[in-house]
Copies of this chain bind each other. A is one copy, B any other.
Amino acid sequence: MSSKLTERQQQVLDCIREFQSDTGMAPTRAEIADRMGFQSKNAASDHLRALERKGYIKLHSDRSRGIQLLDNAYWSDEELPIVGKVAAGVPIEAIENVERTVPVPQGLFKQRPTYLLKVQGDSMIDAGIFDGDLIAVRKSNVARSGEIVVARIDEEVTVKTLRLNKSSATLLPANEAYEPIKVPADQLVIEGIFVGLIRDPNSF
């Protein structure tokens, strides 16, 4: 049972999460005040007390950076857009493509997704990604070799495993029925990185 947060409190909670994600440690009162634009550290203190009272964090008293995010802190839903078919040349996040939004618990995935993409086709079936699955994607225009990426080739968007060589990139399907796609490194457009998968067997 945790009461609802005010908008400002939610912002502070997000701020703490982001700081932790960036630096690997929880922020101090001063650092929260800095990021949030407060003139006084005590503004941050007040918010922390509120967040603790409402059950989102635990404060370890007299401990530096003693802010512990509780499970609740991660279960504040964020509405993510589901992107379906993507029109040629249109940025993937264009509002026209948004079918609907679904609440996704933050922290469900290690990397925070930017949007959800409904998988079409079975080219990644051996990687456990089925037709109709929702994959969580973090928007990014770079990726490392071995990562599963959302890439654009000739106005078409696909999900494949990225393999980077010296001068070229290969998009690897995970299905024997499909062939790898070799692309010159400078022609490859990465849309995002696969950071998680959501399968709801009752969604059909």
The answer to whether B201 and A126 have CB atoms under 8 Å apart is: yes
Question: Is A23 at the interface (CB under 8 A from chain B)?
Answer: yes
Interchain CB contact (< 8 A) of A25 among B23, B63, B174, B201: B63
Number of copies: 2
The interface size bin for chain A is: 20 to 34
Question: Is A36 at the interface (CB under 8 A from chain B)?
Answer: no
Majority-rule SS of A interface residues:
loop
The distance from the CB of A134 to the nearest CB of chain B, in whole angstroms, is: 13
The answer to whether A64 and B64 have CB atoms under 8 Å apart is: yes
Question: Is A88 at the interface (CB under 8 A from chain B)?
Answer: no
Contact with B along A105-147 (1 / 0, CB 8 A): 0000000000000000000001110100000000000000000
Question: Is A100 at the interface (CB under 8 A from chain B)?
Answer: no
8 A Cβ contacts from A128-174 to B? 128, 130, 174
